Amino acid sequence: MADVMTEVDGRTVKLSNLDKVLYPNGFTKGEVIAYYHAIAPVMLPHLAGRPVTRIRFPNGTDKPSFFEKNVPNGTPEWVRVHHVVGSSEDIEYPIVEGTSTLVWLANLAALELHTHQWRVADDAGQTTIDDDLPVDQLVIDLDPGPGVGMPLIATAALLISGELGDAGLVSFVKTSGSKGLQLYAPLEPTRSRDVLTWVRAFGQRLVELHPQLFVTEIAKDARAGKILVDVNQNLPGRTTVCAYSLRAKDEPTASTPLAWHEVEAATEGADLRFTSAQVLERVEQHGDLFEPLLTGRRGTLPS
């Protein structure tokens, strides 16, 4: 198929290879672009101000992929670029400010979009990643070990939500789009070091209270039959898949915000795996279930 020039929010975007199959089930690049265009109204607020790491699959999800942090050659001049300075690297990240940028990334076969737990100011020239970087949310990433199914993960998520509530934090939950669940809690701007210290202690407490259920060790031999509480996702240099991002599986599943009653149903076996089409249907019916993460009350970490 010939390249197509289209206008998205007043920006001219070049689209190519729209009929190229990117998922083994036949889902094409054109359908990937259409999904990101359709989901943009609810996804963009979760991307706003957050540097984006992309995982690109130029030849499909069953072929080699690559991580990309820097903006690639040929990036349109209208894409916002933000300079991030780390301990070992300087990165020119894209900031997704509109549907046109989201469509441009989709055309690059950037199927997965991953973001930090901090935002950059509108007028910031650059950001330095250090322990004093203010973050506005924490994440508890639940990664199931071998032999762990969704009923147990859902049970764990409900337990952790209760523990966060006892600490004065309101939590929201989404699927990872893969095997796990991820809980988020909105925060008043808090130093990264303080969030990491608190979350690590929180994870250790979960292990002490429920040693048969949780581990905080990465080693796979320690995870069989248990759930990894990956607290290190709160490191300022780490990223987590953004709400509504596609995942690179056999079919186009997406990281999907959930209602807590759905998590409760999953403890009894209800499915929590949603494709792009199902996600769009859910948004049509329920709106953005993750909106309160952005607009609701922000918590403070207990001392």
pLDDT digits (tens, 9 = 90+) for 76-132: 999 999 999 987 889 999 999 999 999 999 999 999 999 999 999 887 789 999 999
| 34, part of any domain | yes
- For 233-269, the pLDDT digits (tens) are 999 999 999 999 999 999 999 999 999 999 999 999 9
- Spatial contact of 255 and 279, defined as CB atoms under 8 Å apart: no
Are 124 and 142 within one domain? no
3-state secondary structure of 246: strand
Are 40 and 85 within one domain? yes
pLDDT at 122: 81
pLDDT at 42: 98
Q: Cα-atom radius of gyration of the chain, to the nearest Å?
A: 19
| 106, part of any domain | yes
**Rounded Cα distance, 266 and 228, in Å:** 19
Are 162 and 94 within one domain? no
- For 177-193, the pLDDT digits (tens) are 999 999 999 999 999 99
- For 195-234, the pLDDT digits (tens) are 999 999 999 999 999 999 999 887 777 788 999 999 999 9
Q: Of all residues in the chain, what percent are helix, strand and coil, respectively (each to 5)?
A: 30, 25, 40
Instruction: Give me the mean pLDDT over the 22-37 stretch.
Output: 98
Running DSSP on this structure, what letter comes out for residue 252? -
- For 50-64, the pLDDT digits (tens) are 999 999 999 999 999
Counting the structural domains of the chain, the total is: 2
* Confidence band of 160 (pLDDT split at 50, 70, 90): very high
CATH number at residue 281: 3.30.70.3300
pLDDT at 1: 64
> What pTM was computed for the model?
0.96
Q: Which domain holds residue 20?
A: 4-128
Tokens coding 126: 């650059």
Are 260 and 117 within one domain? no
Are 165 and 282 within one domain? yes
